Amino acid sequence: TGKYEISEAENVQRGTKIVVHLKGDAYDFAKEDIIREVVKKYSNFVGVSIFLNGKRANIVQALWTMEPREVTPDMHEEFYRFISNAYDKPRYYFHYKTDAPLNIRALFYIPEYKPTMFDMSRETDIGVSLYSRKILIMAKANHVLPKYLRFIRGVVDSEDIPLNLSRELLQDSGLIRKLRQVLTTRILKFFADKAKKDPLTYRKFYDDYGLFFREGIVTTPEQDQREDIAKLLRFESSKLGEGELTSLEEYATRMKAGERNIYFLSAPSRQLAETSPYLEALRKRDIEVLFLYEGYDELVLMNLGQFDRKNLKSIENELYEDKEDTDTVDATDEKSLKQNEVDDLKIWLKGVLLNKVNEIKVTKRLESHPCIITVLEMGSARHFLRTTLADKSQDERLRLLQPTLELNPSHPLIVKMNKLKESEPEIASLLAEQLYDNAMVNAGLIEDPRLGMSRLQTLLEKALDKL
């Protein structure tokens, strides 16, 4: 009713007694188990003991209020299991305290288990609870950390947050945005420090949780924070042995003076990366190249764009933009076709391939490969083929891609094809289309090479007939 009376009483114990009268539909709140759960959820960490039918109900300490050196590993393990309802141990824990720019007491844990597909879903809530003066404000406080850090478990306590903060104000509060910024910066620094101090342990963590950092780069609008996340990425490199990983920062320390690009190559495996015609074309320049084995890694670096004022660039784009490689043959190469032969071959090839190619050129960059395909923004082209252009016809795809076919005029297959176009035009045409398909597969622009198997079989049959 909002009204109350005060009167004197005799022979009563010191303290406050509150009697709650429940309505008929609320009798569940008189059950011991229900009350214990309410205490556990909202008031487990208050500074006074809460007894329920003679037994203390709040038995877990608020570890985040203690000094980090006072908290033992066993205490961390018990607390982690309590707040996360888990049975594993934390692989990392981060105890953070500061009074500026906000009063913050935070304790974060990284689970030991490998994340499941459910954990990967962006619909999964943040595993961090928000407190003010040890009173729960919100469990699973999705606005305290960015979504890509949803794998973290823990608590955040700030006396600057009012106890009556509503969910609506929590979402739009400048105070919460500031809190999120401070915590995110400190967490990213924590991971960066761990990566430097214990690379082997971090490698295992990165193998399990690295996908969240990639998501963070794609979904974070601020470039400075994207670059902080990018410091945590790891890749294999053409300058390191198989299985060895390097960071973008480490790559930058090995760059030649005056070099402004960090180069990368997307390939399904190291073997395919090392035998890629695109890597071969740049090998003479002695450029280090990062190997990206997952398709989304290429998308991540394309979104990142720059790191420490250095451009992130695929070697395929480098070849496409290379102005030094003129459309002429090497006159000193005795194995190479002559310029007039190449000019005739290009005209003939255009008649065979028709609208499959926008342009045909010769290149002096290749040695062991007969040809390569170059297009504007190869990585974007691959992405669009898998998404926007997935339901388009082959003709529509090629019209939008406008691929350029670059020939190695000294390769035996190109030299032989030039001869066959006069003596065996049918075999030469089959060979031309097969070389084109091979180049498209190497470029990642044809995902299913089975489409060309019938032509390959016909080509082999024709070749065997000549033996």
Backbone angles phi, psi at 24, to 5 degrees: -60, -35
Q: State yes or no: pLDDT of 447 exceeds 70.
A: no
Q: What single letter denotes the amino acid at residue 66?
A: M
Least trusted range by pLDDT, from 41-55, 223-237, 356-370: 41-55
Structural contact between residues 180 and 145, judged by C-beta atoms closer than 8 angstroms: yes
- Given this model, what pLDDT does residue 382 score? 86
Quick: pLDDT tens for 372-412.
999 988 888 888 888 877 787 777 888 888 899 999 999 99
| Phi, psi for 362 (deg, rounded to 5) | -110, 155
Centre a 10 Å sphere on the Cβ of residue 42 and count the other Cβ atoms it contains: 14
Q: Which of 168-182, 220-234, 262-276, 308-322 has the lowest mean pLDDT?
A: 168-182
Report for 27-41, 83-97, 167-181, 207-221: range of highest mean pLDDT: 207-221
Cα 253-258-264 angle, rounded to 5 deg: 60
Distance between CA atoms of residues 28 and 460, nearest Å: 80
> What pLDDT was estimated at residue 172?
60
The one-letter code for the residue type at 164 is: N
Res. 124: pLDDT tops 80: no
Mean pLDDT of 286-305: 93
Q: Mean pLDDT, the chain, as a whole number?
A: 88
Residue 54 has pLDDT above 80, yes or no: no
- pLDDT band at residue 467 under the 50/70/90 scheme: low
Asked if residue 453 has pLDDT above 80, the reply is: no
DSSP label at residue 337: P
Dmax (CA) of the chain: 120
pLDDT digits 0-9 by tens, 401-435 = 889 999 999 999 999 999 999 999 999 999 999 99
- Helical spans, DSSP H, in 284-338: 295-304, 315-321
CA dist., res. 289 & res. 263, Å (int): 5
pLDDT tens track for 13-45: 777 778 888 888 888 888 888 888 887 777 777
The angle at the Cα of 453, spanning 451 to 455, to the nearest 5 degrees, equals: 100
Helices and strands, number each (H, E), in the chain: 18, 15
253 is in an annotated binding site: no
Return the pLDDT at 51.
Answer: 82
Is the pLDDT reported for residue 12 higher than 80? Answer: no
pLDDT score, position 58: 66
C-alpha 48/C-alpha 33 separation (Å) is: 20
Residue tagged 């045409």 (tokens):
429
Neighbours of 86 (CB within 10 A): 16
Cα gap 326→278, rounded to integer Å: 17
Name the nearest CA neighbour of 220 among 125, 150, 146, 170: 146
Which residues contact residue 437 at a Cβ distance below 8 angstroms, ignoring those fewer than 6 apart? Answer: 446, 449, 451, 452, 455
Strand order in the sheet with 236-237: 236-237, 289-292, 261-266, 310-314, 306-307
The answer to whether the CB of 422 falls within 8 A of the CB of 391 is: no
Spatial separation of the C-alpha atoms in residues 233 and 252, rounded to whole Å: 14
**Structure confidence at residue 234 (pLDDT):** 97
Tokens 């692989």, located at residue? 91
**CA pair distance 3, 450, nearest whole angstrom:** 82
Residue labelled with tokens 């890597």: 279
Q: Name the phi and psi angles at 372, rounded to 5.
A: -140, 160
Over 60: is that where the pLDDT of 228 sits? Answer: yes
Amino acid at 253: T
Higher pLDDT, 234 or 285: 234
Q: What is the pLDDT of residue 339?
A: 92
**Per-residue model confidence (pLDDT) at position 168:** 61
CB-based burial, 93-124: b 16+ in 10 Å, e otherwise = bbbbeeeeebebbbbbbbbbeeeeeeeeeeeb
CB 155 within 8 A of CB 83: yes
Distance CA 173, CA 236 (A): 42
Runs of H (alpha helix) within 198-304:
199-219, 223-230, 248-253, 270-274, 277-283, 295-304
- For the chain, what percent of residues have pLDDT higher than 70? 96
Q: Is the dihedral of CA 42, 45, 50, 51 positive or negative?
A: positive
Residues sharing a CB contact under 8 Å with residue 302, sequence separation 6 or more, in sequence order: 312, 314, 379, 380
- Cβ-in-10-Å burial (0-12, 13-18, 19+) of 4 comes to exposed
Residue with the two structure tokens 């299913």? 448
pLDDT reading at 1 higher than 60: no
List of residues 6+ apart from 54 with CB closer than 8 A: none
Tens of pLDDT, residues 60-119: 788 999 999 999 999 999 999 988 888 889 999 999 999 988 899 999 999 998 887 777
pLDDT band at 329 (very low <50, low <70, confident <90, very high): confident
Residue 167 annotated in ligand binding: yes
CA distance 27 to 262: 66
Tokens of 307: 């790191």
Strands laid side by side in the 359-362 sheet = 359-362, 404-407, 371-374
